[in-house]
Structure 1
Amino acid sequence: MIVEIPRWTNAKIEIATGEAFNPLKQDVKKGKVRFVRNCFPYKGYIWNYGALPQTWEDPTTVHADTKARGDNDPIDVCEIGEGIGYCGQVKQVKVLGVMALLDEGETDWKLIAIDTRDPLAEKLNDINDVEKHLPGLIDATRHWFKVYKMPDGKPANQFAFNGQCKNKAYAQHVIEETHDAWKRLILGKIPAKADTHDISVANAAVDGSPYKVNGGTKSAQSEKGVVVEQEPKVEGKDDKWYYIRASL
C-alpha cells in the first residue's frame, strides 16, 4: 500500500488521479485544502490510511454485490498495525478483510490490512482474528466511516452488506477485480478521458500501455510547459472534537 494519511492526522492527502503520474496532494474543495474533523472519541484518522496501487474501482460498471458503480479511485486501505506511518510510505501489508462503503451512491471499498512487520501480523490471518486481538476496532472503523463527514453538514454514510466486514477471501476477490479493471484502463481497453472518469493514465513503467511516456515525468512536463497553480487557502487549525449523534 501507499500511505496517504498517517494515523492520528487530519490532512486529506490523496493520490491525485487526475494529474499526470498521479502525485500525492492535499485535496482541495472550494479553494480550501481539506482536513477531516475530529469526531469524538477519534482524533483524525484512526489507522494508517492509503491506497492499493494498480487497482481501480471502475465507474463504468455496476458491482454485482453492492449494486453500485465504482468510485473512480484505487482501493482504500486501513492499515491497523501499531506503527505510525508517514505520507508516501510504501508498506507491504497482509489483507484481512474489506468493508463496502456506499459513498454518495458509489462503491468505495475499504480494505482492512496490517503491516507484515507488525508484532501482531503473525496472529492476524482473517477478519475474525482482528476482533479477537483488537476488540472493538472493526466497530470503531464502521462508526468512523459512518460519521466523519457529518460535521460538515453531510448525511451519515451508508454501507453495503449492512456494514458487515467481509473476510479475507472476499477481499482478495475484490483486489483481483479492481486490478483487472486497472489493467483494462492502463492498457487502453477503456477509453482515456471518457465521460465516466477523469483518470490520468500517463505512466513511465507499464509495458504495453499506449500511454507510456519515454523519459518519465520530466519529458511530460517539458511537453506541457510549466503550470503555475494558485495557492489554496488554509483554514485555521481545528483541534475541536465534534460530538455526533449517530449510533454504532
Structure 2
Amino acid sequence: MRLPNVFQSSGYVFRALLGPFPVFGHKLLSRTASLPHLYTLRKKMHYQTEERGSPNTTDYRIYFKNSDGIYISPFHDIPLIAEAEQQHNDLAAKKAKRIESEVLFNMVVEVPRWSNAKMEIATKEPLNPIKQDVKKGKLRYVANIFPHKGYIWNYGAIPQTWEDPNHMDSETKCCGDNDPIDVCDIGMQVCSPGQVIQVKVLGILAMIDEGEMDWKVIAINALDPDAKSLNDIDDVRKSRPGHLEATVDWFRKYKVPDGKPENQFGFNAQFQDKDFAVEIIKSTHEHWRALVQKQTNSGGIECKNVSCSDSPFKCNAKDATKVIQSAPALGCAHNVPSVVDKWHFV
C-alpha cells in the first residue's frame, strides 16, 4: 500500500484577529507590507494526500488531510494566506507569513511542470479532491505544442478563492468561470499533484476562455532561489526574456489541437502588475466567502468543509471520513495513451 504523501504548508491566518474567515483589505496588506522583516518562529502545518482509485483512470482521486489526520477540502479548508506565529500561545502576535516584507499565498499544486494530465480540484464533489478532468468520457491531456512539453509551469489554484459566474468583470465584461483562481508557479522546482506551497504573487493575465473570465496569477515559490529578486511582473520580463511571451502563447493555443479556437485575453494580452493581481485575489476571496456562507448561488459547487465556523456547510471529522470511505481503494496505475507524447505544430 502506498504511504500518504506529506507536504508542508502553514496554518489558518488571522483567525483570532478577524474571525473565522481570513480578510485582507487595503489597510491590512499595506500594514504588513510596510513592516520590517520579522524573524519569527513559523509554525508549520503538514498536509497529507491520500490516493483513491487507479491512477490514469476516471475514478482516481487525491484527497487531503490536515496535520491532525482529519480529512479536509483543499478548496475551502486550506487558508488563502500563509501564516507565521511568534509564539504558539500568543494569538494576538499572528502575522502573515512573509519573505522579506512580502505577504505569501498558499497554492495547491494540481499539475506539475512538463506533465500533460489535466488534473484539477473537483469543485462539484464532496471535499473537493484532485481528479483528472474528463471530456466526452475520456481523460483530458493537454497537447505538446512545439516547443512546449505539457504545462510549462507548476499549475494549480489559490484556495479560498472563487471566480463567481454571477459576477461580471468591469473591464472585460465577462463573468467568472466557476472555479478557484488559477496560479502558475514559475519556480525551478517541479512539484507534485497535491503539494501545497507558499508563493509570492508577481502579476496576472486576464484570459478569456470561451467567453468566461479565467484569471491566471503569475507567482513564484517562496523557497525558490530567485524569489527574493523577483518582486513584480517587470522583474520577470527583465530576468527571464521570453517567458511571459511563452506563457501567453501557451494559453492562447493549448486548446487548438482539440479543435477549439484560440483563447482571447483582456488588456490586449498584457500582464497586469502585482498590486492589480492582489486586488483580483481579494475580490475572488470575497466571492468565496459568500459562497461558503450560502449568500450566493453556488453554481453547483460542493461547499462541504471542516473549518469554516460560520458556514452552514461545515461538517465534522466523522462525516468527512465517510466521504473518503465511499471512494474506491487505491489500485494499480493504468497506462497513459501513447498519443499524449505527440507533438503539435500550431
User: What is residue 9 of structure 1 aligned with on the other side?
Assistant: 115
User: What is residue 135 of structure 1 aligned with on the other side?
Assistant: 241
TM-score by length of 1: 0.91
User: What is residue 227 of structure 2 aligned with on the other side?
Assistant: 121
Structure having the larger proportion of residues in strand: 2
Deviations 1:194-232 (A, max 9, x none): xxx11101111111100001224224567xxx477xx9x
Task: Evaluate the alpha carbon distance shift between residue 105 and residue 84 of structure 1 in structure 2; reply closer, same or farther with a 3 A threshold.
Answer: same
How far off is 1:126 after superposition?
A: 0.3
User: What is residue 264 of structure 2 aligned with on the other side?
Assistant: 158
RMSD: 1.7
User: What is residue 301 of structure 2 aligned with on the other side?
Assistant: 199
Letter in 1 for 2:129: P
Structure 1 moving runs of 4+ over 3 Å? 219-222
Does the CA-based 8 Å contact 1:4-1:15 persist in structure 2? yes
Letter in 2 for 1:147: K
TM-score by length of 2: 0.65
Task: Evaluate the alpha carbon distance shift between residue 206 and residue 131 of structure 1 in structure 2; reply closer, same or farther with a 3 A threshold.
Answer: same
How far off is 1:188 after superposition?
A: 1.1
- 1:15-94 to structure 2, matched below 5 A, reads 15-94=121-200
Aligned residues: 234
Indicate whether 1:168 and 2:269 are aligned: no
Deviations 1:91-121 (A, max 9, x none): 1000000001100000000000000110100
How far off is 1:191 after superposition?
A: 3.6
Letter in 2 for 1:150: V
Indicate whether 1:217 and 2:320 are aligned: yes
Q: Which of 326, 333, 337 is matched with 1:236 structurally?
A: 337
Q: How far apart are the structure 1 equivalents of 2:324 and 2:138?
A: 26
Letter in 2 for 1:243: F
User: What is residue 285 of structure 2 aligned with on the other side?
Assistant: 179
Task: Evaluate the alpha carbon distance shift between residue 134 and residue 227 of structure 1 in structure 2; reply closer, same or farther with a 3 A threshold.
Answer: closer
Task: Evaluate the alpha carbon distance shift between residue 4 and residue 189 of structure 1 in structure 2; reply closer, same or farther with a 3 A threshold.
Answer: same
Does the CA-based 8 Å contact 1:187-1:208 persist in structure 2? yes
Task: Evaluate the alpha carbon distance shift between residue 163 and residue 243 of structure 1 in structure 2; reply closer, same or farther with a 3 A threshold.
Answer: same
Does the CA-based 8 Å contact 1:32-1:234 persist in structure 2? no
Task: Evaluate the alpha carbon distance shift between residue 115 and residue 221 of structure 1 in structure 2; reply closer, same or farther with a 3 A threshold.
Answer: closer
Does the CA-based 8 Å contact 2:201-2:219 persist in structure 1? yes
Rg larger in 1 or in 2? 2
Deviations 1:101-148 (A, max 9, x none): 100000000000000110100110000000111111000000000000
Q: How far apart are the structure 2 equivalents of 1:236 and 1:54?
A: 34
Q: How far apart are the structure 1 equivalents of 2:178 and 2:264?
A: 18
SS in 1 for 2:197: coil
SS in 1 for 2:218: strand
Q: Which runs of 5+ in 1 are unaligned?
A: none
SS in 2 for 1:218: helix
SS in 1 for 2:216: strand
SS in 2 for 1:91: strand
Deviations 1:70-100 (A, max 9, x none): 0000010000011111110101000000001
